[in-house]
Amino acid sequence: MHDAQDTAVYRQQGFGASLRLAPPFGLLIVDFVEGFADPAVFGGGNIPQAIARTHGLLELARTQGWPVAHSRIVYADDDGDANVFSDKVPGMLTLKEHSPASAIVASLAPRAGELVVRKNVPSAFFGTTLAPWFTQRGVRTLVVAGCVTSGCVRASVVDAMCWGFAPVVVSDCVGDRAIGPHDASLFDLAQKYAEVLPLEGLRSRLALAA
Q: Is 31 left (phi over 0), alpha (psi -120 to 50) or beta?
A: left
Residues in the chain: 210
Q: Provide the terminal-to-terminal Cα distance of the chain, rounded to the nearest Å.
A: 33
Q: Which of 147, 152, 162, 173 is catalytic?
A: 152
Active-site residue flag, 152: yes
CA distance 154 to 171: 12
3-state secondary structure the chain: CCCHHHHHHHHHCCCCCCCCCCCCEEEEEECCEHHHHCCCCCCCCCHHHHHHHHHHHHHHHHHHCCCEEEEEECECCCCCCCCHHHHHCHHHHHCECCCHHHCECHHHCCCCCCEEEEECCCCCCCCCCHHHHHHHCCCCEEEEEEECHHHHHHHHHHHHHHCCCEEEEEEEEEECCCHHHHHHHHHHHHHHCCEEECHHHHHHHHHHHC
What residues act catalytically? 152
